[in-house]
């Protein structure tokens, strides 16, 4: 059976949990206490030297780290990952953008706040920059969603799953008020009513 090394509070891990639920795939879930350093222990580092969740271990022992790569693997052959080359490229565009422009800012601030991470001198200096970059990312999303119901291929895809994960809890990061973004809020509602949706806490 598939094994998912998970953390319930992690948006990246939630993407995979949500995708597995949508596919109806049975799996064994292992909760990793990231605050206690569980992903930095030798036994886990032997599975994923990068020391992060999520990690998906397949039936044949293949190990898949990186949330968006896991999404692409699980979506292959389904409507959630288009076969058309142009649409496929657009999905990849948003997956890459989420990890480069969105997650490092919105998700990082949420993690620092909700996990009560020590505010070192570096983090104190980084807060305002990350907030500004996070707001800029939300602006890019708002512009796109003003003219589109979803992010790629004119339909719900893994691009939406990837971006939903941390956007719908962005306000937990402090300084990310979603009230000024009506298109994002409407999109969040559309994602939440897609078949076999589960909340981040499930």
3-state secondary structure 122-153: HHHHHHHHHHHHHHHHHHHHHHHHHHCCCCEC
The pLDDT tens digits of the residues spanning 127-157 come to 999 999 999 999 999 999 999 999 999 999 9
pLDDT of residue 175 exceeding 80: no
Domains and CATH numbers, the chain: 2-75 (3.40.30.10), 85-192 (1.20.1050.10)
| For residues 27-33, average pLDDT | 98
Token digits of residue 7: 């953390």
Query: 55-57 and 27-31: which strand pairing?
Result: unpaired
Q: Quick check: 82 and 44 in contact, CB under 8 A?
A: no
Q: Quick check: 91 and 81 in contact, CB under 8 A?
A: yes
Which pairs from 186-193 meet CB under 8 Å and 24+ separation?
Answer: 186/145, 187/141, 187/145, 187/149, 187/150, 187/160, 188/164, 190/149, 190/150, 190/156, 191/156, 191/160, 191/161, 191/164, 192/168
At residue 140, the pLDDT reads 98
pTM across the whole model: 0.96
pLDDT of residue 108 exceeding 90: yes
Distance between the two ends of the chain, CA-based, in angstroms? 20
What percentage of the chain exceeds 90 in pLDDT? 93
At residue 168, the pLDDT reads 98
Residue 117 — pLDDT band, cuts 50, 70, 90?
confident
Token digits of residue 177: 């008020």
Token digits of residue 126: 């980084």
Residue 70 — pLDDT band, cuts 50, 70, 90?
very high
HSE (side-chain half, CA atoms, 13 Å) at 178: 19
The pLDDT tens digits of the residues spanning 74-94 come to 999 999 999 999 999 999 999
pLDDT of residue 55 exceeding 80: yes
pLDDT of residue 174 exceeding 90: no
| Cα separation, 176 vs 18, whole angstroms | 23
**Lowest pLDDT segment from 70-79, 112-121, 144-153, 163-172:** 112-121
């Amino acid at each position: 059976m598939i094994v998912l090394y998970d953390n319930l509070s992690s948006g990246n891990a939630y993407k995979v949990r949500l995708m597995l639920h949508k596919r109806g795939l049975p799996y064994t879930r292992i909760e990793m206490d990231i605050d206690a350093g569980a992903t930095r222990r030798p036994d886990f580092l032997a599975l994923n030297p990068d020391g992060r969740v999520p990690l998906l271990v397949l039936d044949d022992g293949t190990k898949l780290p990186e949330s968006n790569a896991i999404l692409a693997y699980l979506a292959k052959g389904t409507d959630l990952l288009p076969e058309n080359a142009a649409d496929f490229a657009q999905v990849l565009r948003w997956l890459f953008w989420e990890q480069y422009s969105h997650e490092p800012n919105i998700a990082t601030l949420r993690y620092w706040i909700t996990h009560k991470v020590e505010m070192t001198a570096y983090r104190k200096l980084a807060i305002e920059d990350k907030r500004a970059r996070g707001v800029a990312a939300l602006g890019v999303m708002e512009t796109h969603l003003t003219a589109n119901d979803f992010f790629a291929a004119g339909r719900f895809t893994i691009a939406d799953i990837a971006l939903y994960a941390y956007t719908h809890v962005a306000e937990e990061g402090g300084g990310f008020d979603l009230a000024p973004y009506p298109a994002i809020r409407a999109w969040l509602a559309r994602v939440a009513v897609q078949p076999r949706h589960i909340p981040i806490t499930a």
